[in-house]
Amino acid sequence: MRKLVVNKKYDNKKLNNFILDCFPSLNKNVLYKALRKKDIRVNEKKVSENIVIYENDEISIYIADELLLGKFNIETVYEDENILVVNKPAGISVTENNSNSKTLTSILKHQFGNNIQPCHRIDRNTKGLVLFAKNKATLDILLNKFKNKEIEKHYIAKIYGIPKKEHDILQSYLFKDSKKSLVYISDTPKKDYQKIVTEYTLIKKDEKNNYALLDINLHTGKTHQIRAHLAHIGFPIIGDGKYGINKINKKFGVKTQELYSYSLKFNFTTDSGILNYLKNKEIKLKISVF
């Protein structure tokens, strides 16, 4: 069973649209069958039709994870005795509070054992590299390396519009609203807002279709930082259902954000113990979707 809370974007919208956007792998016929069987509840009330929902409504979905999330083939990009790097598909979270939910971590624990732990996260519908530790000593080292910014993460983002500057380092302030699962960006400091720094480099542009590809280097790693920061400056990521533009997403025919974690660089400047062999190593994913 999955529980979801309706955000502002889906206020006064149809239930089916909300569920299908949340679970891109879900077959429409499976959803309709669940409605007929009253396997979906809105605010704990069983519903059998495609009703209108409102912000903060709680949706309970009694559909098996295999049908909601689909079957995932997790590609191993790099592996040794201490670390594992995989290519995460869209539609699955790295971790969740509900231990009964199917996550990338739970899938990999089944395959590699319970000692495996993620060293960082990317959004559910962001695709690409995720680094896992195979033992506690490795996990402790890598968490410290991330904290000290000795591991560099790069992303590729497909954005709508073409920035005038080919390279820029953006500095703003981010507030996380956990209840709404949204973040807000401000150009000036505010109470409870945290400073964020996002660096981008233009790597391709298509003036005819008005889109560009950016290489993103995160100097800070806050929730939804890339997606919200780029949308804030007027260049939303294509396919982003939360911070993007619906009519643009429909135009390009995509339902999840075109954002890929494609590079991990181990820029170790201090002793790394059993992981010294990773110093200056880069693990890179070939992105051919564009």
Question: pTM for this structure?
Answer: 0.76
Question: Both tokens of residue 55?
Answer: 């912000």
The CA distance from 178 to 157, in Å, is 24
Predicted confidence at residue 110, as pLDDT, reads 79
The CA distance from 116 to 128, in Å, is 18
- First-to-last C-alpha distance (Å) of the chain: 36
User: Does residue 123 carry a catalytic annotation?
Assistant: yes
Predicted confidence at residue 94, as pLDDT, reads 93
Tens digit of each residue's pLDDT, the chain (290 residues): 788 888 888 899 999 999 988 877 788 999 999 999 999 999 999 999 999 999 999 999 998 877 876 667 789 999 999 999 999 998 888 997 544 457 899 889 878 888 999 999 999 899 999 999 999 999 999 999 999 999 999 999 999 999 999 999 999 999 999 888 899 999 999 999 999 999 999 999 999 999 999 999 999 989 999 999 999 999 999 999 999 999 999 999 998 999 999 999 999 999 999 999 999 999 999 876 55
Residue closest to 132 by CA, chosen among 70, 200, 86, 77: 86
**Domains within the chain, CATH numbers bracketed:** 2-69 (3.10.290.10), 155-261 (3.30.2350.10)
Catalytic position from the list 21, 39, 57, 123: 123
Length reported for the chain: 290
